[in-house]
């Protein structure tokens, strides 16, 4: 993970939407260093999808953040989806 990562946002979003998207990306980044409850990841991803419903825009934002932060947003969400309730997600050491 790198310091001073640029988080992709849109100037068309409300302040709350910017906060929600930023929080989602921050929790993905955190999961690449320490364990995060799956419910946190999935809940924030749900808010992210309300703000960014389009798949192509999501992929573009994920790619931008992944490259800048040296993480993998999609693999983090997939790991959370596959995990059991109450499980924590730690992407440290996972390829991607």
Domain containing 24 — which CATH number? 1.10.220.80
Residue 55 buriedness (CB in 10 A; 0-12 / 13-18 / 19+)? exposed
Q: Is 70 left (phi over 0), alpha (psi -120 to 50) or beta?
A: left
If one counts the domains in the chain, the total is 1
Domain range for 20: 15-87
Question: Is residue 73 domain-resident?
Answer: yes
Q: What is the pLDDT of residue 4?
A: 81
- What does the alpha-carbon distance between residue 59 and residue 8 come to, in Å, rounded to a whole number? 11
pTM for this predicted structure: 0.92
pLDDT digits (tens, 9 = 90+) for 31-45: 999 999 999 999 999
Question: Is residue 6 domain-resident?
Answer: no
Question: Is residue 9 domain-resident?
Answer: no
pLDDT digits (tens, 9 = 90+) for 76-90: 999 999 999 999 999
């Amino acid at each position: 993970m790198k310091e001073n990562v640029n988080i992709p946002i849109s100037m068309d979003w409300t302040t709350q939407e910017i906060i929600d998207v930023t929080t989602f990306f921050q929790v993905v980044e955190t999961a690449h260093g320490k364990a995060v409850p799956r419910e946190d990841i999935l809940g924030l991803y749900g808010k992210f999808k309300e703000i960014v419903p389009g798949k192509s825009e999501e992929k573009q934002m994920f790619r931008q953040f992944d490259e800048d932060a040296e993480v993998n947003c999609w693999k983090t969400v997939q790991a959370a989806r596959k995990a059991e309730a109450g499980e924590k997600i730690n992407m440290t050491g996972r390829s991607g």
